[in-house]
Every structure is written in structure tokens, then in C-alpha cells.
A = this chain, B = another copy of it.
Amino acid sequence: MASIRVGLAQINPVVGDLDGNVDRILAVIASAEAQGCDLVALPELALTGYPPEDLLLRPSFVRDTRAALDRVVAATRRTVVVVGFPEAGGHDAHASTDHAENADGDGRGAIATLHNSAAVCAEGRLLGVYRKRALPNYSVFDEQRYFVAGAEPLALFRIAGVDVGVSICEDAWSPEGPIAALGRGGADLIVNINASPFNTGKASARQSVLAERAREADAAIAYVNQVGGQDELVFDGDSMVVDRAGSVVFRAPQFRAGLHVVDIEIPVEGDRPSLPIIEIPGAPAHRSPVEAATVAPRLSPEAEVWEALVLGTGDFVRKNGFTDVVIGLSGGIDSALVAAIATEALGSAHVHGVLMPSRYSSEHSISDAIALADNLGIEHRTIPIEPAHVALMEMLAPSYAGHSIGLAEENLQSRLRAVILMGLSNAFGWLLLNTGNKSESSVGYSTLYGDSAGGYAVIKDVSKLLVYRLCRQRNLSAGREIIPESVLIKPPSAELRPDQRDDQSLPPYDQLDPILALYVEGDRSAEEIIAAGHDPATVERIVRLVDLAEYKRRQSPPGPRVTAKGFGKDRRLPIVNRYRR
């Protein structure tokens, strides 16, 4: 048995913050060195944060990132560092032809070929580079927009007597890819660095795939993934070590940044690797034992989503330089959940609630909102909208005379609330959190520039039924009532006209949500959804509402993605679209 001490650094980089990311990386390297690591692995594109998107099209950004890498390389000592960066190659046929149609305007032709690469470095030197071969270009991923796939011959790095192969993220997701080739070529251990966003069910899918790859390669796999929120994406870490038999021998807690040090035992075999070997000498350091590797327990589906929403929201607020948020508290369940998430993410002193009752608001809306604010310990104020409501209806009266304007008046109230919330946001620098859920956003049950407003939409990828489950889970885990029980049991209402209830406009959520899951997340046709047993008229109506609401969603705030298909980069539909099936 050989033993190699590996550090899995699931750090939380900030996109574009090259200096800050270098500092984060140097801190991890120093700690890994101090703990006697033979190798420390950092995430994919850790130097830039992931995804850097079109920053990669700026030559200055690519140059500056290379200078940042040089600083990291210079700081390495005995511990071998594997770290992701965008690597500029020369001009090649791909770059000069593939971007030809655009050559007239935007200087894209000036960009050198880019690779999504992993640098392997130690003792102040860059010892090798691996270029990602499988470039995802589906769902939220656009890597073929930026990168050219690696095609160089593979090589292994001999570290502490162990032959180590390097691979990047998507490389691990298909059989007979680079991981199999590294294994067949003699790798004992394969490092896989990632920027793999969370969605429900992703963690177990990830683990199954790594187990398959390990058995296919007959090699252990050390998997490291970044942590943190970046616009709509939430990265959950979930770094792990899988042995050659596919068993998980270490797993880090999800959603928490940290360096985890694991001693990996490698059975020594006499076989000579067939791949070229880059020897990395490095005297074995004197080192004390590390704690035994542990396998963090899996979170429940609700707990996992809760953590993702808290991390995504907190990171969006902090990384954009805000400290405080403002939330309209309607007394309903959506704003209650958002306030609870914000309070956990930012602290109760940084969350500001605003009640804005109208002539149609019920008594319980006000008392429920106040009870919630008190349970959370957040500041709240009440600004009735009546004076502006009256003023605007009078201003519009000459135009509205003789017309039926029910919905227009409903929307007007919602927009007045946005004017008030943004008035506080602008005056005090509080980011407005939007409280719309995915069920509403799917069917367009919201007012554009009204309740659709906000800097971040905390639960935009959370269906209404899941909103209820998350609230109950919150009360359970707190061991007390955070979201008032009365909020959980009353029928949902927008309260924009007397005695309004959601189920006057929409099917009950236990009928609506399954249809939406099939249409929005499953890309099933109306016909297929009806064949699955749903009411035909309801399905036809819902499908039409979803399509018609595309224009509203296009102007909606970003928010954390927690399903395999959110309303963002992973669902790109035209606004002008006459397909209705």
C-alpha cells in the first residue's frame, strides 16, 4: 500500500475577483502545505470563478488571469497544486474559422484559442497542464462558446510514488472518456476538479457516476467542487473520494467552504504505466496523522434546497456589495419563506420588512406579517397604499371612463407596492428581494414591475408545494413557530380585490404543480401530459399560460436555481412563439 495525502479545497471564489481568488488559493495552499499534503486540488476555473461568461472574450481578462496564475505557481512549494484556469493557446483554425460570420464587427477574431485547463504545479514551477476534453454546451452550460476541447496526448504525474491523472468536471460524466483512458494508461488516482452546480438529486447522481468511473478506470477518484452562489447558480461542494471499487471513502459537507485533508491508500501493483510519466520529486514531509476520513451524511431534499437558497441569496447580496435587504411582507407564505431565508443568510438586523395593506387587505394579513417579523426578530414598518391608490385611480379616471378595468386596477396596487419598496431600496441601499415562486412565475400569475420586481428572486425556482414543505421544515428544525401556523393553513390570495383567492384564477396547486413539472422541466407536450392522466382543458390552459408569460419571465430578477431546469440559462425560449402543443 502506498499512501498519498490529498487536500480537497472546496473554496468559494468570486467571479472576476482575480486578486481575491489568488488570496483564497494561496491561503489554501499554505494550509495544505502545513498539513503535509502531497497534493491539493482546487476547483475548475478557480482563478476566475465559474462561470466567467463573456469576460473570457476580453483579451485583457485572459492576460490578467495568466498573471494571477503565475502568482499562484510562484507560491507553490512541496505540495503539488492542481488548479483550474482559462488557458490561452495560439490562434488556430477553429478560432479563425468558427467565428467568421462575426469578423466584421466585434474584434472576436483577435482572441486566441482558449482551453478550460488544470495547471499542475509545485516548487514554484508549472509542471504540466491538462485541457478539458468534454465541453458541456447544454442546460446552463455554454462552454463551446469559449473553449476548444483538449486533444493532446495524456500523461500521468508521479506524486509520492502514486501515478496521478488529472481531469475536469464533464470529463467524468461519460464512459470511455479521458478517465477510462487515464485508468487504462496506469493511473492509480484520478483528480477531477469541478464547478458543478447544485440541483435537487444532483449529489446522488454525481456519486453514482464517480463510482462507475472509478470501477471503469480501476483507480481511485478525488473529486473537488466549488462552493457558493454565482448569479443563478449555486455550487454545493460535495467533494469526495471514491476508491477503485466505487465506494465513497470520504465526503465533505455540502454548501460549506473548506479544505479537507484525506489520506488515500493506494494498492501498489508492479504494472508499469503505459502513459508518459512526469516525475515530481518532493521529499516526503514529516507529518502528523490527519483525522480519519468521514462521509458526511446526505441532507433531506428539503434541507438541501434550504441550504442552497440560503447560500445563493447570501452570496448574491454580499458579492454585490450589499449588506441589507428589504422585503414586502404580505402576510402570505411566499414572503414568509423569503424573510426566513434572508434572516438566516444575513442576520435579522439586516432584513427590513414592509407591510403595505390596501383597501382589500384582510386583518389576518397584517397580524400574520407582524407575527412573522416578530418571530424572526426583524424590523418592520407599515405603509398603507390607499393615498396613492386613490390618487392614481383619479388620474386615470378620464382614460378609464366607460371601460372595464378590473385587472388593471389589481396590477396598479401591486405596482404601487413596488414603487414604495424601490423607494426604500434607493434611499437606504437595501437590495429588494422578490418573493415570487416558480408556480406563479410559470403561469405569469404576477404583475410586471409590481410583485415581479426585485434584485434577487429567492424562491423563483421553488414550486408552491415545495414552499409549503420548506416552511414546515423550517419550523420543525427551529423547534418553534417561525412561520405562523395561520400562514400555513389559510388559502393563498393576492388580495387585490375583495375575497380574492388564487384558486379562482388557477387550478389548486396540487393539480397545477405536477402539470408544470412535466411541461416546464420535462419538455413534455400537452398531449403527453394529458395522456399521463391530467385534465385536458386544464393542461391546454396551463400550457398556454406558460408560453404567454415568457415575456414577463424575461424581465424577472435572477434567483437561485435548485431544479434541473430553472427559468434561466437552462430554458431558452423565444417570446415570439406560436407553437402551442
Contact = CB atoms under 8 A, between A and B. Distances in A.
> Which among A169, A388, A408 has the greatest number of chain B C-beta atoms within 10 A?
A388
Given A51-B574, A422-B411, A574-B51, A427 B448 contact: no
Given A15-B577, A422-B449, A196 B383 contact: no
Interface string A144-156: 1100000000000
A2 interface: no
B557 A16 contact: no
A578 B455 contact: no
A536 B486 CA distance: 59
Interface stretch (A36-44, A261-269, A330-338, A518-526): A518-526
Nearest to A200: B105
Nearest to A136: B101
A412 B419 contact: yes
Interface in A386-407: 387-388, 390-392, 394-396, 398-400, 403, 405, 407
Interface string A172-198: 011101000000000000000000100
Interface stretch (A52-60, A79-87, A494-502): A52-60
A202 B105 CA distance: 8
Contacts of A395: 383-385, 387-388, 420
B391 A408 contact: no
A139 B145 CA distance: 8
Interface in A547-581: 551, 554-558, 563-565, 570-581
Copies of this protein in the complex = 2
A104 interface: yes
Interface stretch (A92-100, A118-126, A358-366, A464-472): A92-100
Contacts of A435: none
A283 interface: no
A141 B145 CA distance: 9
A134 B97 contact: yes
Interface bracket on A: 35 or more
A401 B387 CA distance: 19
A556 B448 CA distance: 11
B388 A16 contact: no
B555 A557 contact: yes
Nearest to A578: B17
Given A105-B201, A106-B565, A170-B100, A407 B426 contact: yes
A504 interface: no
Contacts of A575: 231, 316, 320, 558
Contact of A411 (B60, B407, B423, B428): B423
17 contacts: A53-B572, A59-B523, A97-B134, A99-B138, A99-B139, A106-B564, A107-B523, A142-B145, A231-B574, A320-B575, A320-B576, A381-B399, A388-B395, A395-B420, A405-B426, A415-B422, A555-B557
Interface of A: 14-18, 20, 51-55, 57-61, 64, 96-108, 134, 136-139, 141-142, 144-145, 169-170, 173-175, 177, 196, 199-202, 204-205, 209, 229-231, 315-316, 319-320, 381, 383-385, 387-388, 390-392, 394-396, 398-400, 403, 405, 407-408, 411-412, 415-416, 418-420, 422-424, 426-428, 448-449, 453, 455, 521-525, 527-528, 551, 554-558, 563-565, 570-581
Given A97-B134, A385-B395, 8 more contacts: A15-B574, A53-B573, A104-B202, A104-B204, A105-B563, A107-B522, A388-B388, A408-B427
